Amino acid sequence: MAAKVIIHKPGDKIGTRILIEEIDNENYPNLKIWKWKCDFCGNEDISYLANIIKYRCNNCGRGTSYKPGDRVGTKILIEEIEKNGSTALRKWRWKCIFCGNIGVSQIQTIKISKKCRKCRDFTRESNYKESKYVVGKKLGSRVLVEEIDKEGQLRFRKWKWKCDCGNEGINQLQILLSNKNCPLCKSKKKVGKILGIWKVLEHIGFIYGGKNNKKCESQYRVKCMRCGFETVKIFKKINKNQKVCSNCRGKYRLLGKFIHIKDLSRIFDIKKTTIYFRMKNKSMSLLEAIVSISRRN
C-alpha cells in the first residue's frame, strides 16, 4: 500500500503552530521551509517542515512561556532583553529575592543555576532577611550601631559595631555572622598563657597584610621564662618546643645570672673548649668545671 501524501496549506495547524506561508528553497527543493506562528505564545519563526512536525515551538519549550514577574529558583524575571532566537538563548534581566542582586543571563543559565550567583543562600532564607538585622541587634558580643552601606547585597553591606569590651569597628554582615566574638576579646583571653619557655604578658595590637590587607595577625609582648628576656611576637609564630631564646642561647646560669662561656673564658683566662669538655664529657656543672680547672692551674 502506497504511503498517504499530506499536502500542507497556509492556515494548517501542527501542534501549537499555524503555518503562514511556504518559502522557496532553491538549494534543496525537496526540503520544504515554512514560516509559522505559535498559537500559544505568539512566537514567529522559519523552520523546515520536518522539524515543525517533529519538535515543539522553540519559545514555549514544554508548553510554558516566560513572562515578566515569573520566578525561577531565587530569581524573578524583570524584562526580556533579547527577543530573537530560541527561548533558551534569550537573555533576561532578573533580580534575586533574597539579596537584591540584579543581573542578566540566558534563560537556560537561569534554569540550570536557580540560586543567585552571589548570595547562593536560597536554602537559608532566614539568614538574610532585611527585617532581621536592625540597629541594636546583638551578634555574639557585638551590637550593631549603624548601617554604613545601604546599597547592594545584604550580606556584603558594612555595619558599624561596638563590643561589650568597648572595642569598635566596621565589617561586612557576613563576617559578623561567621565571627560573632570581637577579635580584641579573643586576644585578651590568651594573655597569661605559657607556651614552652615563653609567657604571654600583654596584647599590643594587630598587623594587617596579605591581599587587600585582609590578613590580620595579633601581636603580643612575651617574656622568656629562662632568662627574663622580653620581645614582641606574632601569636602564631611562638614556638612551643623552643628550649632557648635568642638572648640566652649559649649562656648558662651561674650564681643567679646568665653568663656566656666566652665571657667566663676571658675573665678566668681559661680556654672555652676545656670548659665544654668538662661539662659534656665529665657531666659537671658550670661552677664545678671552673673550680676544677682553676685548682689544676
Residues 42-80: tens digit of each pLDDT: 778 888 888 777 766 766 654 346 778 888 878 888 988
Q: What is the pLDDT of residue 290?
A: 73
Q: Are 227 and 247 in contact (CB under 8 A)?
A: yes
Domain boundaries, the chain: 1-65, 74-112, 134-185, 190-237, 251-296
Q: Are 99 and 116 in contact (CB under 8 A)?
A: yes
Q: What is the pLDDT of residue 62?
A: 41
Q: What is the pLDDT of residue 292?
A: 76
Distance CA 51, CA 72 (A): 28
- C-alpha cell read off for 76: 524573578
pLDDT under 50: residue ranges of the chain: 1-2, 62-64, 121-126
- C-alpha cell read off for 49: 517542515
The answer to pTM > 0.85 is: no
Q: What is the pLDDT of residue 210?
A: 59
Distance CA 125, CA 35 (A): 46
Contacts of the segment 221-227: beta carbons below 8 A, 24+ positions apart: 222/198, 223/198, 223/199, 224/197, 224/198, 224/248, 225/194, 225/197, 225/198, 225/199, 226/197, 226/258, 227/251, 227/258
Residue with cell 661539662: 279
What kind and span of H or E run contains 184?
Answer: helix 183-189
Q: What is the pLDDT of residue 125?
A: 44
